[in-house]
């Protein structure tokens, strides 16, 4: 598995990472979660991303791969009121309590990366949530801090200089970050984590006849309308992954699944079928510029 340094953190991460929302929000059983996560680690994936609000995700990670902690760069997120907790969202107390609860669930004393979970720009500007993360870092509960989010809030987070990493939406149908977020983030030495890289399978779903196929599928329909993408692979998931992997600014790409075969298939794609043709990547850039100039990141 190809490895990359996650910006100024110096952490070595696999370019393909695990997004652990699926196993937690779909409430999969422990045996299935163990199967999916251990396949990933056995095949060289070293980056696992979760969040306090992803159902039972943190608990499943703690129960199934805590014994392999040294093999994993472990990231979680905080800020929301979730899991029966009573309190104010985006307050220092909620964040502190969330971090302590996450550490207990994950069965670790310290995570590698602690991220604010998509709060708005106004919340960031108050400074309380940032200080709460810095306090956790000072207390040894996290090695590095990051921001997970999009659009103007992500721009503010980058410009603030407080964060070591940025996790943000980037895919063939969501390219806004390429010109607006990636250059300033890289200039500040931030690690970049791409979320939603396959855009919920939008490219393969672009021909859907459902009344509301979803924003990403609607974007894919608009981008596909001029005709086939030149030299694109027949596999739409490979096309989506290949597009994101073609951008060197991205350090790691998180993909979620609770299906062991889907995990194996994604690993095979990354190890054996990349890169995709440069002509396909260029065509996707061109199509987005033609029809998606006003599309902001999906939040």
Structure tokens at 47: 């980056």
Query: Tokens 């979730």 sit at which residue?
Result: 82
CA–CA separation, 218 and 211 (whole Å): 11
Longest Cα–Cα distance of the chain, Å, equals: 55
Within a 13 Å sphere around the CA of 22, how many CA atoms are in the beta-carbon half?
18
Please give the positions annotated as active site.
54
Q: Kindly provide the b/e burial profile for residues 130-149, where b requires at least 16 CB atoms within 10 angstroms of the residue's own CB.
A: bebbeebbeeebbbbbbbbb
Please answer whether residues 195 and 148 qualify as being in contact, where contact means their C-beta atoms are separated by less than 8 angstroms: yes
Torsion of CA 29, 201, 45, 139, to 10 degrees: -80
Please answer whether residues 97 and 127 qualify as being in contact, where contact means their C-beta atoms are separated by less than 8 angstroms: no
Structure tokens at 78: 């905080």
Residue 194 contacts by C-beta under 8 Å, 6 or more apart in sequence?
A: 167, 168, 169, 170, 171, 244, 250, 252, 253, 254
Residue 94 CA: distances (Å) to CA of 41, 78, 86, 153, 214: 32, 9, 9, 20, 33
């Amino acid at each position: 598995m190809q490895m990359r340094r996650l910006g100024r953190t110096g952490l070595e991460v696999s370019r393909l990472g695990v997004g652990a929302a699926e196993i937690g929000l779909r409430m999969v059983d422990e045996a299935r979660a163990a199967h999916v996560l251990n396949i990933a680690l056995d095949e060289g994936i070293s980056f696992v991303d979760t969040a306090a609000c992803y159902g039972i995700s943190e608990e499943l990670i703690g129960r199934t791969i805590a014994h392999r902690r040294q093999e994993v760069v472990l990231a979680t997120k905080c800020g929301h009121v979730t899991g029966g907790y009573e309190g104010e969202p985006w307050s220092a107390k909620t964040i502190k309590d969330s971090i302590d609860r996450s550490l207990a669930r994950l069965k670790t004393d310290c995570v590698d990366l602690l991220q604010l979970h998509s709060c708005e720009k106004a919340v960031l500007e108050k400074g309380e949530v940032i200080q709460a993360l810095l306090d956790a870092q000072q207390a040894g509960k996290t090695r590095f801090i990051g921001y997970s989010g999009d659009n103007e809030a992500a721009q503010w987070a980058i410009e603030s200089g407080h964060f070591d990493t940025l996790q943000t939406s980037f895919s063939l149908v969501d390219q806004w970050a390429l010109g607006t977020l990636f250059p300033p983030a890289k200039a500040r030495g931030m690690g970049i984590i791409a979320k939603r890289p396959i855009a919920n399978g939008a490219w393969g779903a672009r021909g859907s006849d459902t009344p509301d196929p979803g924003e990403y599928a609607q974007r894919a329909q608009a981008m596909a309308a001029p005709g086939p993408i030149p030299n694109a692979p027949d596999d739409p998931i490979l096309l989506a992954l290949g597009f994101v992997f073609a951008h060197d600014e991205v350090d790691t790409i998180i993909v979620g699944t609770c299906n062991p075969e889907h995990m194996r298939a994604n690993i095979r794609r990354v190890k054996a079928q990349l890169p995709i043709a440069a002509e396909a990547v260029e065509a996707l850039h061109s199509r987005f510029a033609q029809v998606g100039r006003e599309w902001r990141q999906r939040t």
